[in-house]
């Protein structure tokens, strides 16, 4: 059971760091139970475990210290008797006698025997799961990560016990682990952080009735972990505990690929933008974790930006023209400024999407070879010049509805051949280079390139429109 291995790995690292010699049972009683369960607000809710099995009239937040320790004694007794179902040892199969098979995961059909130490380790390991958006959890066996998660346990407990934060939900340890790890390894981390700082970093969602830990996007976590593990590949175990438990399996996380994307973003848009816009563009990367795991590893391909697929192989184009906010007749100044600010924010979001898409597409096209980062933009500018040499809409249709909507190299080259027939001789070599470029591409790279060209065409349109209006 992976939770046992994670718990055991952590315990060894913990004993070494803090000069202790605790057994798993010792640690569970002295540390885990005291942090997780010996309070009105639990940090973890384990279905059917002694800690959540209430007698008539009992409620978790009303239990006395004596009653909570009674539940601990109940758990210890069951472990001592060798009971090892999912309510006693985390990650074990559910009790077959109770016909709860659909709630089992992380299990094996290999006949094994487990010690008391193993079962306590399973609890410790379960508390080190990293919750991510999409309803899944990751377990890493790296000691640096595990010890950092332990530090976060105490922070979460501190906030749960803070009377000023009475609306804060308990039982979110795995979700908290994801947010804490994401912040602790980020470049935004401050050693003097407070609750307000964590709220500003998006770790909590707050309304009038409750405060909940928000679920972190796996891609954001990936980028921030890469700050610590610059060139490392670490295997993670991805699973889900719910009404129907799911196991996706073991996957290598190639953290060095985050550096690749940051490097491209810096080369394309400058170091200042790469730093200041990091939180915005990093959040856009990443397929749903389930789709990412289907690729077999977590690297560049898994980091494909959200919604990029809708621009593949059709006539749909991204709109990047800067919106103009014109004052309406008799419109109050406050309403006008509000609309102007919304348009400005929407324009910023469009630019970040464009930059994120371009960064990833170039990283995919240029892997294992050198390519000019400006090639597609030069072609996009040449296409605009070709289009503007005629007032007829035929050229615009040829570019947007045929060339940029091509689903195959053949379609693209046919459209390009039509363009070359009418091209200015001074631009002919550029388009011949494009033709040769397309010929040499494999089908996958061609698909990426057409979408990249579509985005650069839209961005050049933005630049030309802004220039014609005298904007900077």
| Per-residue pLDDT of the chain in tens (472 residues, 90 and over written 9) | 799 999 999 999 999 999 999 999 999 999 999 999 999 999 999 988 999 989 888 898 999 999 999 999 999 999 998 877 777 878 776 655 444 455 555 455 555 678 999 999 999 999 999 999 999 999 999 999 999 999 999 999 999 999 999 999 999 999 999 999 999 999 999 999 999 999 999 999 999 899 999 999 999 999 999 999 999 999 999 998 766 778 899 999 999 999 999 999 999 999 999 999 998 999 899 999 999 999 999 999 999 998 898 888 665 567 888 888 888 888 888 888 888 999 999 999 999 999 999 999 999 998 756 677 889 999 999 999 999 988 888 999 999 999 999 999 999 999 999 999 988 788 888 899 999 999 999 999 999 999 999 999 999 999 888 766 655 4
223 in the same domain as 360: no
Query: Are 239 and 315 in a shared domain?
Result: no
Q: Please indicate, yes or no, if residue 212 is contained in any of the structural domains.
A: yes
Are residues 317 and 444 both part of a single domain?
Answer: yes
Answer yes or no: is 141 within a domain. yes
Region for residue 207 given its phi and psi (left: phi exceeds 0; alpha: psi -120 to 50; beta: otherwise): beta
289 domain residue, yes or no:
no
Of the chain, the end-to-end C-alpha distance in Å amounts to 60
Kindly give, in sequence order, each residue whose CB lies less than 8 Å from that of residue 179, ignoring residues fewer than 6 positions away.
Answer: 198, 203, 213, 214, 216
DSSP class of residue 353?
A: H
State how far Cα 426 lies from the chain centre.
46
Chain centroid, CA 68 distance in Å = 37
Is 232 in the same domain as 359? no
Indicate the burial class of 28 (C-beta count within 10 angstroms; 0-12, 13-18, 19 or more): buried
Cβ within 8 Å of residue 347, ≥6 positions away: 322, 323
- What's the domain count of the chain? 2
Q: How far apart are CA 13 and CA 25, in angstroms?
A: 16
User: Is position 178 within any domain?
Assistant: yes
Residue 62 is assigned to a structural domain of this protein? yes
Position 294 in a domain: no
For residue 467 the two structure tokens come to: 């220039």
Kindly state whether residues 245 and 311 are assigned to the same domain.
no
Is 179 found in the same domain as 32? yes
Are both 176 and 311 inside the same structural domain? Answer: no
pLDDT at 309 (0 to 100) = 87
Hey, how many other C-beta atoms are within 10 angstroms of the C-beta on 79? 23
Q: What is the pLDDT of residue 472?
A: 46
| 81 and 206 belong to one structural domain | yes
Q: Which of 217, 252, 287 is the last residue of a domain?
A: 252
pLDDT of res. 317: 63
Answer yes or no: do 242 and 324 share one domain: no
Rounded CA gap, 21 and 13, in Å? Answer: 11
Where in the sequence is the domain holding 338, given as residue range(s)? 307-468
* Residues 331 and 185 placed together within one structural domain of the fold: no
Tokens at 72, concatenated: 């601990």
Q: Is residue 49 part of a domain?
A: yes
pLDDT at position 69: 95
Tokens of 95: 């009790």
* Same domain as 313, residue 234: no
Which phi and psi angles does 327 have, rounded to 5°? Answer: -70, 130
Cα–Cα nearest to 116, from 52, 192, 27:
27
Q: Are residues 101 and 207 in the same domain?
A: yes
pLDDT at 366: 82
d(CA 154, CA 160): 10
Which residues neighbour 216 within 8 Å (Cβ) at sequence distance 6 or greater? Answer: 131, 132, 133, 175, 178, 179, 182
> CA dist 299 to 53, 363, 371, 461, Å?
42, 11, 20, 33
Would residue 378 count as lying in a domain?
Answer: yes
């Amino acid at each position: 059971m992976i939770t046992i291995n994670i718990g055991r790995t952590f315990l060894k690292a913990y004993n070494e760091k803090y000069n202790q010699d605790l057994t798993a049972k010792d640690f569970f009683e002295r540390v885990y139970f005291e942090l997780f369960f010996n309070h009105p607000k639990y940090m973890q809710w384990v279905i059917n475990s002694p800690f959540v099995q209430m007698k008539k009239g009992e409620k978790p937040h009303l239990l006395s210290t004596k009653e909570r320790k009674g539940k601990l004694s109940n758990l210890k007794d069951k472990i001592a008797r060798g009971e090892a179902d999912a309510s006693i040892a985390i990650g074990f199969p559910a009790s077959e006698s109770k016909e709860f098979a659909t709630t089992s995961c992380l299990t094996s059909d290999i006949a094994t025997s487990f010690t008391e130490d193993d079962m306590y380790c399973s609890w410790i390991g379960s508390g080190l799961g990293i919750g991510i958006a999409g309803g899944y959890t990751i377990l890493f066996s790296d000691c640096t990560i595990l010890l950092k998660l332990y530090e976060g346990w105490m922070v979460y407990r501190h906030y749960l016990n803070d009377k000023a934060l009475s609306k804060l939900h308990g039982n979110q340890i795995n979700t908290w682990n994801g947010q804490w790890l994401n912040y602790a390894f980020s470049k935004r981390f401050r050693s003097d952080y407070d609750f307000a700082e964590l709220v500003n970093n998006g770790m909590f969602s707050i309304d009038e009735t409750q405060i909940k830990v928000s679920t972190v996007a796996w891609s954001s976590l990936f980028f921030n972990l890469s700050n610590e593990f610059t060139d490392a590949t670490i295997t993670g175990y991805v699973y889900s505990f719910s009404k129907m438990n799911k196991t996706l399996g073991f996957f290598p996380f190639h953290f060095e690929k985050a550096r690749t994307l940051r490097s491209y973003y810096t080369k394309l848009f400058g170091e200042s933008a790469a730093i200041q816009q990091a939180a915005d563009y990093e959040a856009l990367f990443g397929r749903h974790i389930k789709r990412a795991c289907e690729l077999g590893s977590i690297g560049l391909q898994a980091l494909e930006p959200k919604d990029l697929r809708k621009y593949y192989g059709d006539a749909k184009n991204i709109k990047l023209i800067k919106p103009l906010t014109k004052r309406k007749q008799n419109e109050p100044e406050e309403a006008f400024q509000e609309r102007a600010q919304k348009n400005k924010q929407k324009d910023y979001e469009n630019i970040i999407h464009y930059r994120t898409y371009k960064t990833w597409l170039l990283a995919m096209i240029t892997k294992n070879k050198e390519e000019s980062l400006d090639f597609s933009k030069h072609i996009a500018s040449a296409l605009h010049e070709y289009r503007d040499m005629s007032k007829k809409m035929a050229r615009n249709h040829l570019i947007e509805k045929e060339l940029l909507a091509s689903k195959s190299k053949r379609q693209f080259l046919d459209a390009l051949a039509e363009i070359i027939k009418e091209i200015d001789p001074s631009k002919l070599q550029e388009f011949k280079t494009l033709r040769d470029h397309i010929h040499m591409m494999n089908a996958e790279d061609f698909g990426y390139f057409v979408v990249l060209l579509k985005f650069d065409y839209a961005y050049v349109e933005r630049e030309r429109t802004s220039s014609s209006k005298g904007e900077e």
